[in-house]
Amino acid sequence: MYDHLELLFPARIIPALGNLRGEAWQALVAEVRARPATSVEHLGFVLLITRLARCGTCSIDSQRAVRGCAACTRKAVVRFKGSDEDLIAQYRQACDEVAQFLATGRAQASAGSSPETSIAARKPHPQSRV
């Protein structure tokens, strides 16, 4: 019934977003489409759209879910009140965040710890307080 829903923005929809705004946006979408799915640019774009369309707050019974991810995403891009340059600036910020996250994971992996281990080391368990 809900086979058109994803947990976050589905990258398969990226091609459908290219013609929704001006030339700068179209160039960005074309650039992202040319990148591998594991690249910082691709992941940054997915993060941008996930935030723009508020994918994290979507639930199966919401109006957004009923319309589907493709319609919701197109609507979010079209309704964005800023300029293409504003969207591209947000995209660059998202790419920076992805790159920083990946670098942190690589550093922890080379040090022999996982992100979960370092988080657990920083936060004492509530029951361990005396």
Confidence (pTM):
0.75
Task: Map tokens 């690249």 to a residue.
Answer: 39
- For the chain, the domains span 11-122
Rg of the chain in Å (alpha carbons): 18
**Contact between 82 and 48 (Cβ < 8 Å):** no
User: Of 58, 14, 60, whose CA–CA distance to 37 is shortest?
Assistant: 14
As given in the structure block, the two tokens for residue 85 are: 């340059």
The more confident residue out of 39 and 119 is 39
List, for residues 56-85, the tens digit of each pLDDT value.
Answer: 887 776 666 667 788 889 999 999 999 999
**Contact between 33 and 15 (Cβ < 8 Å):** yes
List, for residues 21-69, the tens digit of each pLDDT value.
Answer: 999 999 999 999 999 999 999 999 999 999 998 888 877 766 666 677 8
Please tell me the distance from the alpha carbon of residue 35 to that of residue 86, in angstroms, as a whole number: 22
Tell which phi-psi region holds residue 124, choosing left (phi > 0), alpha (psi between -120 and 50) or beta. beta
